Structure 1
Amino acid sequence: MSIATPQLVPASVLLAEPRPTWLTEWGAFASAFRFSDMPSDLIVQAKVVLLDCIGAVAAGMQEPEMRRLVERLGRRDSGSATAIGAGRRLSPLDAAFANGVAGTMLELDEGNQFARGHPGIHVLPAALAAQPCEQMSGADFLRAFVLGYEICARVGAASRLRSTVHPHGTWGTIGAAFVAALLEKANESDLVQIISMAAPLSISASLRSMLEGATVRNSYAGISARNGLAAWDLVASGFSSETDGVRSVYGNVLSETFRPEIMTEELGRRWEIQRNYFKRHAACRFTHGALDAVAEIIAKDGTLDPDSIERIEVDTYAFAAQLDAPAPTNMLAAKFSVPFSVATTLVHGEASVEAFRSPALADERVRRLAQRVSVRENSQMTAMLPDRRPAQVTIHLSDGRVVEGKTLTNRGDAQDPYSPDEVRAKFFALAVPVWGQDHAERIDALIGSLEGAADLSLLDTLLAEPPVKKD
């Protein structure tokens, strides 16, 4: 039988394709892997990532839209799972959704430059909602979290999403589903099934939403966490997946390129969670090279008067150069604008959460300066991806002086990492305004010794604490 229409493959050909070997290897690897197999540095890194994710979720949960969303979800079902930092319990599906949304609200969630996305904020919400906390030990939780992070980060690294697709809500669904399956002690066969089952439940996340500042974009990771739990419910109930759902979606639909060899390259020896990055600038990661260069200029030349700046030139890699809109209309759009991010950093001294809120958006000093920022791609810088994230910022002053800053890596990347203490300091900066110093210290201490916890009841209680009332 033959078909003349290009790219249309006969069913007889498709159905004859075997299951890929990498998928079988992954099922065997994850099934056999135990917490006792985790080296000490991997355990430390997993706990630091968990702490960072919790801080990002708790802080994001205080945004007005999140408070209203949790209130709506709570009216539908009070449930048993915690909405972190909200002081409310929801159904597991709704809690996974809410925590995933909250974690992306402030653009402070960790990520992975090789996966080109944010594994942690997809996996953690599903992990916390997958099973009652009294049924999960700390060691089992850490093992599942690391493996869930690993599988979805590798899918991200093995594929090249279309330029119109936002990575949130895509391959993270596989990590969310995998962590749920692991926490219910799925067997090897089911672990293979869940990877293929979750792939087509990824969403067609639009990149344009972030450029427009359409805050639907903040929902993508939450939807991914919820869909991951649904995928495991399907497999556990006897539903079947296609033979190779990952290649179908990430080799043809959301991406046209999938490199299966990456899925097992140094498997068990190289851990993607140890190649992650942490964020201190409250903006899109693509802006961070320019913002690090601005920080270098401020450290070297001191604070610059915005009115003394004639123009600013930013040379950087392609994905960052795309973010050239100079006049964002809301906080999310501002975080995805290199001109605004550079301008507000120069005016406020840092790219803090407050530097992107409404008062900063309305600040004429920032708005005028952003109009004087030009952004262009340097093809040599683009060629350095993904290992490097370079940028050069050149500021021309009205008195004729020129000051420059340049970076090849983003601060916080695997090549220039923050120390665990620096990540902890970020956690406290986010968590203390939510719960107070004492409560934040209890969470930090518990995460620090999580592998010894018989269950997660105490962690659940701490995360369920209502936020402190503001005067």
Structure 2
Amino acid sequence: MPDLSVPKKILELDATALPAEVYDLSRTCLLDLLGVAAGATGIPLTRIAREFVLNQYPGKQPLLFSEGVSSSTGAALYGGWLIDALDAHDGHVLTKGHAGVAILPGMLSLPEIQTLSGRRFLGELAIGYEIAIRAGISLHNSACDYHTSGAWNCLGVAAVAVRMMGLSAQQLAEALGTAEFYGPRSQMMRCIDHPTMLKDGSGWGAMTGVSAALLARAGFTGAPALLLEEPDLWEDLGTRWHFLDTYFKRYPVCYWAQPAVEAALALRTSVPDTEQVEEIRVTSFHQAIRLHTSLPQSTEGAQYSLPWAVACALHRGTVNRQSVTDDLVHPEVLRLSGKIRLCESAEFSDCFPAKRYAMVTIRLTDGRELVSGRFEARGTPGNPIDRNELVTKFHELAQPVLGSAADRLERTVNALPDQPVTELLAQLSPTMPYQDPKESSLSHATAT
């Protein structure tokens, strides 16, 4: 029988009585994730994902920002794929990955979601983040390989799903063990070296976490979760919030590339004309240098390309959705990207993952060199992005898809602590109401 001490602590957390700053951050995360989800509609990965889920996972649960319904597992898979399709969602430096991309779709996929108050919804979202982040830290402390986020955010999904279903500590232990065992321990650096639609494994993480909770409710048993066995990591659950160290992205590219983007933007006003750029040298940490594709052939390649991000920043003065979609054939961005040389700094590599640094040197055709200082990615608690700028980012991504409904969605998220979550749900799917929780496809039988 698995140790139930950590599962009991998880279930004892009161989602309606958390610190005020936790609710504030949860609300910001929710708005940011919804903006990314809206902005990702229409990306090729998303179109393929939707057709696959509708064909292979029939059910009654609505899909996020999409026509059609599927099972809870299918809706979770689609939602995770959708948000992950545009690399602009939040993350956590010590996990080297992302929690919310799976937690939110996992919660939205369950019919129980419609029974929550807005305050409890935000609290459960934060708790899901916290469990996922701690599981991610534990995995990186214990595994010899660097796995995608789906390998650990699936435990956060399983935990919050079990809480929403009102299951027992024993069932939670079984769900966490199942999620850990079946979670996608895919190799992240393979996708960095060869960017494809596999992305960060979070669609599979969301689906695995929901599946694990549904199986636990039906009596399915799982092996004890090894990621719960690091006592120093779990003993302060509920008193310390790793969730509060969540970072936000300003640009829809890998966070490892964003220090170099900031350094390039700092030099941009000193460049008379980008046609005078002869060479761009980027010095950063090892993992960032692995983002080496200079001429990406797909949006996934562009999102995982440090040269492309820097070239777009110099050309446009920003990196936005258009930078990683429509600009793939832009001649000036292609020219600039081809002039970028990547160099690793041992000092910067030693600082990773807690700190991510980059410097940029631009040599002009007249022989002058422009040298930036050392830059860190914006969006961490120590180098934050103002919430007004994050709201601007939300509208940049959501407005082209949702139109004026984006304004209503922002107002609803802001007011969520004081209203039912159903007001939010009504704006997230054009299809139909959520399935009645009593009509779930798997039995409500409890484990013995």
Q: CA distance change for structure 1 residues 443 and 78 in 2, over 3 Å: closer, same or farther? A: farther
Does residue 289 in structure 1 map to residue 266 in structure 2? no
The aligned counterpart of 2:408 is: 442
Give, as a single letter, the amino acid of the residue that structure 1 aligns with 2:75: A
Query: TM-score when scaled to structure 1?
Result: 0.85
1:310 to 278, 281, 285: 278
Gap change, CA 1:36 and 1:75, over 3 Å in 2: closer
Contact in 2 for aligned 1:114/1:386 (Cα 8 Å): yes
1:463 correspondence with 2:431 = no
Q: Tell me how far 1:239 sits from its aligned partner.
A: 1.8
C-alpha contact 2:276 2:365 (8 A) present in aligned 1: yes
Summarize the Cα distance change of 1:31–1:62 in structure 2 as closer, same or farther, 3 Å threshold: same
Asked if structure 2 preserves the Cα contact closer than 8 Å seen for 1:159 and 1:259, the reply is no
Letter in 1 for 2:211: A
Deviation at 1:422, TM superposition (A): 2.0
- Structure 1 position 462, deviation (Å): 0.6
Query: 1 CA distance for matches of 2:183 and 2:126?
Result: 20
Aligned pair in 2 of structure 1 residues 175, 346: CA closer, same or farther (>3 Å)? Answer: same
CA distance in 2 between partners of 1:272 and 1:458 (Å): 29
Distance in 2 separating the partners of 1:119 and 1:237? 26
Map of 1:328 onto structure 2 = 296
> Gaps spanning 5+ residues in structure 2: where?
432-448
1:253 counterpart residue number? none
- Are residues 78 and 377 of structure 1, via their aligned partners in 2, closer, same or farther at CA, if it must alter by over 3 Å? same
Q: Write the distance in 2 (CA, Å) between the matches of 1:126 and 1:284.
A: 23
Alignment of 1:79 onto 2:59: yes
Cα distance in 1 for partners of 2:202, 2:272 equals: 38
- C-alpha displacement at 1:363, in angstroms? 2.5
What CA deviation, in whole Å up to 9, does each residue of 1:49-70 have, x standing for no partner? 0111111112212324423532
In structure 2, the CA distance between the partners of 1:269 and 1:422, relative to structure 1 (3 Å rule), is farther
Question: What is the aligned residue count?
Answer: 429
Aligned position for 2:353? 386
The separation in 2 between residues aligned to 1:93 and 1:39, in whole angstroms, is: 31
* Percent of aligned pairs with the same amino acid: 25
Note the 1:270-285 alignment, pairs <5 A: 270-285=240-255
Match of 1:421 in 2: 388
1:343 aligns to 2:311 (yes or no): yes
Question: What residue in structure 1 maps to residue 366 of structure 2?
Answer: 399
- Match in the other structure for 2:152: 171
Equivalent in the alignment of 2:101: 121
SS of match in other structure, 1:395:
strand
- What SS is found at the alignment partner of 1:376? strand
Offset at 1:339?
A: 1.7
Q: Please provide the CA RMSD for this pair.
A: 2.3
Give the secondary structure class of the aligned counterpart of 2:341.
strand
Aligned to 1:186: 167
CA distance in 1 between partners of 2:231 and 2:374 (Å): 32
Task: Please tell me whether residue 238 in structure 1 is matched to residue 212 in structure 2.
Answer: no
Equivalent AA in structure 1 for residue 264 of structure 2: V
Question: In 1, are the aligned partners of 2:61 and 2:70 still within 8 Å (CA)?
Answer: yes
Distance change (3 Å), C-alpha of 1:132 and 1:36: closer
Structure 2 counterpart of 1:237, one-letter code: A
**Residues 242 and 313 of structure 1, relative CA distance in 2, 3 Å threshold:** same
Tell whether 2:42 aligns with 1:62.
Answer: yes
Is 1:203 the counterpart of 2:184? The answer is yes
SS at match of 2:260: helix
Alignment-derived partner of residue 105 in structure 1: 85
**Are the structure 2 counterparts of residues 230 and 289 from structure 1 closer, same or farther at C-alpha, using a change threshold of 3 Å?**
same
Tell me, in whole angstroms, the C-alpha distance in 2 between the residues paired with 1:441 and 1:42. Answer: 24
The letter for the 1-side match of 2:247 is Y
Partners of 1:408 and 1:28 lie apart in 2 by 43
Q: CA deviation at 1:19?
A: 5.3
- Per-residue CA deviations over 1:444-471 (Å, capped at 9, x if unaligned) read 22222222234x32222111138xxxxx
Q: Is the 8 A contact 2:33 2:100 kept in 1?
A: yes
Other structure's SS at 2:109 match? helix
1:423 Cα deviation from its structure 2 partner: 1.7
**3-state SS of 2:366 partner:** coil
For structure 1, the 5+ residue unaligned runs are 1-17, 248-257, 467-471
Q: Which residue of 365, 374, 377 corresponds with 2:344?
A: 377
CA distances 1:153-211 after superposition (whole Å, capped 9, x unpaired): 11212232868644232101111111111111222333333222210111132332343
Counterpart pick for 1:261 among 232, 236, 249 = 232
Counterpart contact for 1:52–1:109, Cα < 8 Å: yes
User: Residue 216 of structure 1 aligns with which residue?
Assistant: 198
Q: Does 1:148 align with 2:128?
A: yes
- Deviation of the 1:276 alpha carbon: 0.8
Equivalent residues of 2:134, 2:233 under 8 A apart: yes
Which residue does the alignment assign to 1:252? Answer: none
Q: Give the partner amino acid of 2:373.
A: K
